[in-house]
Structure 1
């Protein structure tokens, strides 16, 4: 198969953006011939145009493409082209080489790359595009070569030849003094001078990987005529002259559309799960981050905790009984990537003993195969070969009968009735688990790059590719339609890297690009929810591309602001009068019977919904991207299957006792009378969490029904409270301004100052903001203020902080504490408290009983001021 290429409008724009920088420069073709005939064997590029003229051209190009104008002196002759992955960046800069030669006669070009993967991609691109450029530019003579320290004659040919010369160099080959190319030989010269003497035009592919001082010095040592920088993610966009960002490319259908089909585990919080995430070097001792099942007051969740040698995971887990024996950290070994536990277990970095994780990865492989076969059935008649790519983090899980290979063969045979020989293979470095930086990786990348057309052909049976080194920039294939992330821990791969391997538009067996939207859909099968996938992708666009989303997408970050208070408000008689009534603290007592608790709680437990067994869920969602609304997923389908796993049963009553603090006998009677003890085996940890929640709800309900408040003595309480106000009056308080922040009316000398705040009141809702506005304008309001977060009322379900203190005067002065809520329009005006959450309702009940022991304070739950 021979790939066919075409020049698209946006690609022509990117080429023209560079060419226009040098309008006014003469064509140097004849000049090169004269130089070649002289004494010097070097044929060099020359630039006659002065910098000021190039600067004018630069700003004209930037204006035409609506990019920020930059003065030429700011970055010198460094120019940046931003193009999203999969839109033909390599094609664009190679075409630019031929256009610059055609317009201005320049002949010497060096392409600098950061890795072997990208180098081999460039070599493959030049080979594949040679016939296209020969036709497009009337058969120019050109030579391309890869620099190698054992073939220095290549440099002499590069310097002396009088036609287009393209030299491809890895930055690591010439950025250090001891590189062969930089060593001075017997004649007193260094090989790099053969390049620098030509004043080459330097093209940097993925320049964000070459921003160190050493790399910059190495580029300068080439004595470039000018530097062109091409990337989808510029770290420093020197003189940006063209931009095609990922959102534009996606919405113009220049790349595949994306859908995600995440496979997730639900309710998988049983057992002593341990995953070693990373090591953290400290000043005194080595630490590590470990993910475990942590039990809090409400439920058990997966959570990452920091540990050092000697720590007990039982303590770190909140006393989760699964970790009581054998889970003390006996040792950490960062070099080996291991953590030793007192029970004899050795946990390896990146691994976990999560019982359900294997089931999730097996389901991911199944979903990938099914999706692949469905697309294959639809696209093969159109001459389009479908490829699927699996990202794995351990070669051992695939090679030599590893579990991924076994699962794949089993599922493929089940789905097709055929043997899987030849349809799947792995691209690894001599079957060793490497990080992508060794000589062995070069062998891997050579194979990947040189077989791209073969992979696209029906002549090759290979359709499913397992890899780990190919995660970096530089490897992709236009017919990758499925990407599956198989990691024993949650994927650490960036979303842009993940989708970038399959974004290119598909090609058919004639090597022609297929632009049908119904064909170009990339399905990603990740190990995270589609909401998380979309959120992370959006964050990467913001961080790496500087894209700003607005409206429903990314809101402007809240601004940190200082709130100031009205000077002298603590001496205001009206403030003092209401504060003297409010400042007293209370305690409460409760009364209920044990029998009543058992009856109420067992009834609540009996009425619980069915306790779900651990499940594996599969969702399918389309990913949408716009500059205004950001990136989000739209769910199209979902289904779930139960995971058939047997769990060790913990001490259920003991675990519930920790959460409720009731006696084992009482808990035994509640569970027995509920008739739900049989649910324990289905999901023991969820049983503990849900039963504890129901018992606590019943307990709190009884406590609140029988609650009684008592005022505490006034010993020093008032002075202490007033001191806190005086501190705020003096120094103010920091807060984050948002759309609900209320700006207090400035005192014009005639208007009464109605609040203790001088400028802003931090608020959390439109209801609160409307309430503040009404207080400010209402004639009867003498004083209003938001109660501080340290003003708390104790309740059995946690402290309660009311919203407002209001002093109104008509015929007499009335003191209110107001809680503002909005439950929507009901049968009559006001708040329908039954629509509030149970916890809110219970705190309101407590607040009413609390304020009953205060003289002259009216507690109300309202939506608007006029309800007072």
Structure 2
């Protein structure tokens, strides 16, 4: 398999944040100099080298950096932060799993293309990251060749292979050296060579050859490289600048980009996290062993899966049994005394608890009684295997290979070497036992291909160990770590990482039987495989590894068998869910993880007041706009008026609940034009309520179909809506060109560049606190100035190409549009090129959408949606969001997404007019030019009304078209056309489709239908 890479907007923004800091820098590629020839030359060679050009001293660096920060609404730097290592230090914050390595490699190519800089050194804190970077350079080479028409030359610094430095210096193309800090700041003999005059390097010091290139340093995880010795060593490289990439910057410099944990989650750039907690609970007065594995929904009443001890002829064994209310564990265990009084009194599927008549209660994931460490590890392995199978059954048919990763603390737990040979350790043996048990329980009646796949894999082949390897014995061994490495939990065995990384792509293929991987905890950083869906740490918990680090290895978005990222916004968090099997309760694990995430968001604004909103940059129909004081005060008043902030102006849970339930109070008229941007700004203010939601996987259960599914009314409803159709759009491109030209002529308004002037004076009374918090000066006046002159820049714009890329039209069509607009309109390009491009693209996209809707037609095809989508798509749901059992729905429970939906369900289920209804699964969709559309509800009304009505409904918290996003409005209009086509080919008992915000609105529309 070959991983595929594509241009992604969020990564492009990270690249442009860096490159835009140097706007105005001339492109001076290939500045030549004479390489130090050294002494005792044995041969003639070209002494010319090509170094990075100096930063133009007339460049308004600080102003450029402030402009970048202002566009991202980051705190603006008041000065360039200089360090002893470099006079220019830029911080780029990117969450783990979002592709920061890809971003800085792309930044290298972009810097070379725009400014001619060609010498880069990537500095990393460990062997693991070094090997990962090198692998990334290898697998992205073809991708960047397609984009930039050139390849980069790259190598890992090795003091024994110094000929690479000659090539690094003498080559005029892009050259990248990857070096780990141990190579230049450790005490070993090989590490000191970089500072020594070497006979085998013609009496030169390698560091002198390196620094002559004036390299740009890229620090990957700089917070791990802040020791005094390391920083002193970095100064020796004489860098042109330092770019620092990390998810958790410790020391702050000029931050120019932020993509933190909250951004990554809300933008769906990383996997969603679910946790299976396992905890030991002491029940007073008993030592009876019990483990409540899970609770299942059944047609009659919930069933509890409980592991108990049972007396058998050959001794006492621990066996998992399915138990119901009233079962007596004393009888079940063949009268083991410890189970006297353990009669099941209640099984609660919503709270996931089992209570006994003796007063004892267990929650799913809790064990009690004789629970040794081996018992706990067995339970963890069992849960990890179960989670793997549950995911694999669904994802196999999507062409996605599922990997499960076990971290252990010593090789002996997985592999044992004796005089008799090699055999599995205790964890390997437990794994094979639990794997076979889980496999035997699988019910795969409708999945023959998956069953065939499983039958073709032997249990001994489906797990493998990735550890360090002893070069003499060829045996797996624990990694060699010094005290510092042990403290950090990082190994520096290159061979172990080499094995992990070489197998990275092979492991993603179904042809490779390995699906379960055991690796040493110290090799944690080496694992960045995108298809890790389950992580289980089988080691003693400690404080050296944070919960964020623990989940970080599985956050990357998965790929299918074609190497394509599974990042469709509509389904990304259905497909990409990382399950962490934790050796502690769900509550404790999540609390610790939330603390880690909260600590990483320390720079997020916390106060939602007018002072925060004033001056922020937002996108409007007329380009980028700075929020005025009046608008800022209006936003603050809106939040106060509706109870969305507390007295200190902190965002409260009520606001986020309103967002989730689509019940936000309407904005005042003067704020409505900026609705989406305002709510984005409010959402960027930190509050506990908007931290990533981590699911309790214990709450996920199979929702069983009930008798309503077999009703004639539902079968008739289904037969009327299950048709599939193909759409076509036929229009003359000249019509689109004419519409776009007219729209641009009438509506294109490019905002001139603005700059703010603030005047201030020193406070009357100074104090340490005022100085500390930056309050020693107070602003007395603020004015915004407009630069209406042409913007002259050394940056050359591919205007047609940029617009064509943004609107997904051919260069010819875009060229026809731009060449026909009025000259004064086109002249605005010189005033603000970026704004001209973005606004032109927006207006063209609007016209494109209009033309699509006008000329869109649907034609039904013979194929229909399989009714199995009601079982396949409903395998696991979060019952924490389920209400009481229902009477008229095709399932006993329905999982709702908002308050609007919950109220709607309650009314549907109690309405005498409703015969049967269903929340449509994701497998039911209507294809549209802007992506597949999945309506919410299908409803059949009883014959008792004037006539039988079948209704497909979309529930929205707001009916106002102003409140709906453009893409939603387009999908809804497409759905109307789809059902028009369905109805055209049906008898009079047709299907009505509409958007509603309440049950009352639905009944109003149904009345119209009758």
Task: Report the TM-score when normalising by structure 1.
Answer: 0.53
Alpha carbons 1:87, 1:255 under 8 Å: kept? yes
Partner of 1:395: 411
- Counterpart-to-counterpart distance in 1, 2:13 and 2:207: 34
1:220-273, Cα deviation, whole Å (9 max, x unpaired): 11111111110111111311100000011011110001111111221178999x
Structure 1 unaligned residues grouped into runs of 5+: 273-352, 558-624, 641-868
Taking a change above 3 Å as real, the CA distance of residues 261 and 96 of structure 1, as seen in their structure-2 partners, is same
Partner of 2:194: 181
- Counterpart-to-counterpart distance in 2, 1:24 and 1:213: 35
Taking a change above 3 Å as real, the CA distance of residues 429 and 133 of structure 1, as seen in their structure-2 partners, is same
1:781-796 aligned within 5 A = none
Alpha carbons 2:127, 2:491 under 8 Å: kept? no
1:2 aligns with 2:2: yes
1:689-728 aligned within 5 A = none
Taking a change above 3 Å as real, the CA distance of residues 555 and 90 of structure 1, as seen in their structure-2 partners, is farther
Taking a change above 3 Å as real, the CA distance of residues 553 and 189 of structure 1, as seen in their structure-2 partners, is farther
Partner of 1:132: 143
Partner of 1:161: 171
Partner of 2:376: 360
- Counterpart-to-counterpart distance in 2, 1:422 and 1:432: 20
Taking a change above 3 Å as real, the CA distance of residues 639 and 133 of structure 1, as seen in their structure-2 partners, is closer
Partner of 1:842: none
Taking a change above 3 Å as real, the CA distance of residues 464 and 224 of structure 1, as seen in their structure-2 partners, is same
Instruction: Return the match for 1:522 from 565, 569, 578.
Output: 578
Instruction: Return the match for 2:459 from 420, 428, 437.
Output: 420
Instruction: Return the match for 2:270 from 255, 270, 279.
Output: 255
Partner of 2:127: 116
Partner of 1:540: 596
Alpha carbons 2:378, 2:430 under 8 Å: kept? yes
1:556 deviation in Å?
A: 12
- Counterpart-to-counterpart distance in 1, 2:55 and 2:543: 52
1:774-813 aligned within 5 A = none
- Counterpart-to-counterpart distance in 2, 1:441 and 1:555: 53
- Counterpart-to-counterpart distance in 1, 2:646 and 2:521: 37
1:453 aligns with 2:453: no
1:381 aligns with 2:397: yes
Alpha carbons 1:395, 1:432 under 8 Å: kept? yes
Alpha carbons 1:149, 1:180 under 8 Å: kept? yes
Taking a change above 3 Å as real, the CA distance of residues 629 and 251 of structure 1, as seen in their structure-2 partners, is closer
Alpha carbons 1:80, 1:241 under 8 Å: kept? yes
Partner of 1:45: 52
Taking a change above 3 Å as real, the CA distance of residues 634 and 4 of structure 1, as seen in their structure-2 partners, is closer
Instruction: Return the match for 2:213 from 170, 179, 198.
Output: 198
Alpha carbons 1:195, 1:222 under 8 Å: kept? yes
- Counterpart-to-counterpart distance in 2, 1:106 and 1:548: 33
1:633 deviation in Å?
A: 4.8
1:806-837, Cα deviation, whole Å (9 max, x unpaired): xxxxxxxxxxxxxxxxxxxxxxxxxxxxxxxx
- Counterpart-to-counterpart distance in 1, 2:157 and 2:695: 48
1:63 aligns with 2:70: yes
1:546-565 aligned within 5 A = 546=602
| SS at 1:42 equivalent | strand
- Counterpart-to-counterpart distance in 2, 1:192 and 1:556: 58
Instruction: Return the match for 1:411 from 429, 434, 438.
Output: 434
1:121-159, Cα deviation, whole Å (9 max, x unpaired): 111111110110000002x14211111111011111111
1:382 deviation in Å?
A: 1.3
Alpha carbons 2:277, 2:582 under 8 Å: kept? yes
1:270-285 aligned within 5 A = none
- Counterpart-to-counterpart distance in 1, 2:697 and 2:142: 44
Partner of 2:225: 210
| SS at 2:53 equivalent | coil
Taking a change above 3 Å as real, the CA distance of residues 141 and 237 of structure 1, as seen in their structure-2 partners, is same
| SS at 1:241 equivalent | strand
Over the aligned positions, Cα root-mean-square deviation in angstroms equals 3.3
1:442 deviation in Å?
A: 1.6
| SS at 2:155 equivalent | strand
1:825-836 aligned within 5 A = none
Bigger Rg over Cα: 1
1:597-676 aligned within 5 A = 628-630=689-691, 633=694, 635=696, 637=698
1:495 aligns with 2:540: no
1:48 deviation in Å?
A: 3.9
Q: Count residues with an aligned counterpart.
A: 492
1:543 deviation in Å?
A: 3.1
Q: Which moved more, 1:490-499 or 1:85-94?
A: 490-499
- Counterpart-to-counterpart distance in 2, 1:628 and 1:2: 40
- Counterpart-to-counterpart distance in 2, 1:354 and 1:230: 48
| SS at 1:29 equivalent | coil
Alpha carbons 1:550, 1:629 under 8 Å: kept? no
| SS at 1:502 equivalent | coil
Task: Report the TM-score when normalising by structure 2.
Answer: 0.46
Alpha carbons 2:80, 2:254 under 8 Å: kept? no
Alpha carbons 1:52, 1:72 under 8 Å: kept? no
Taking a change above 3 Å as real, the CA distance of residues 553 and 226 of structure 1, as seen in their structure-2 partners, is farther
Structure 2 unaligned residues grouped into runs of 5+: 38-44, 288-368, 417-423, 441-454, 470-475, 608-642, 649-685, 702-1010
Alpha carbons 2:404, 2:532 under 8 Å: kept? yes
Taking a change above 3 Å as real, the CA distance of residues 43 and 548 of structure 1, as seen in their structure-2 partners, is closer
Partner of 2:750: none
- Counterpart-to-counterpart distance in 2, 1:427 and 1:121: 15
Alpha carbons 1:81, 1:228 under 8 Å: kept? yes
1:266 aligns with 2:306: no
- Counterpart-to-counterpart distance in 2, 1:165 and 1:434: 32
- Counterpart-to-counterpart distance in 2, 1:108 and 1:237: 25
Taking a change above 3 Å as real, the CA distance of residues 639 and 3 of structure 1, as seen in their structure-2 partners, is closer
Alpha carbons 2:468, 2:478 under 8 Å: kept? yes
1:51 deviation in Å?
A: 7.2
Alpha carbons 1:83, 1:89 under 8 Å: kept? yes
Instruction: Return the match for 2:182 from 172, 177, 189.
Output: 172
Q: Which moved more, 1:225-234 or 1:408-417?
A: 408-417
Alpha carbons 2:33, 2:51 under 8 Å: kept? no
1:518-560, Cα deviation, whole Å (9 max, x unpaired): 1111111101222222221122123344255969999999xxx
1:470 deviation in Å?
A: 5.3
1:2-21 aligned within 5 A = 2-21=2-21
1:149-177, Cα deviation, whole Å (9 max, x unpaired): 11011111111111111110011101257
- Counterpart-to-counterpart distance in 1, 2:113 and 2:401: 37
- Counterpart-to-counterpart distance in 2, 1:79 and 1:528: 39
1:246 aligns with 2:256: no
1:403 deviation in Å?
A: 1.6
1:58 deviation in Å?
A: 1.1
- Counterpart-to-counterpart distance in 1, 2:34 and 2:183: 33
1:36 deviation in Å?
A: 13
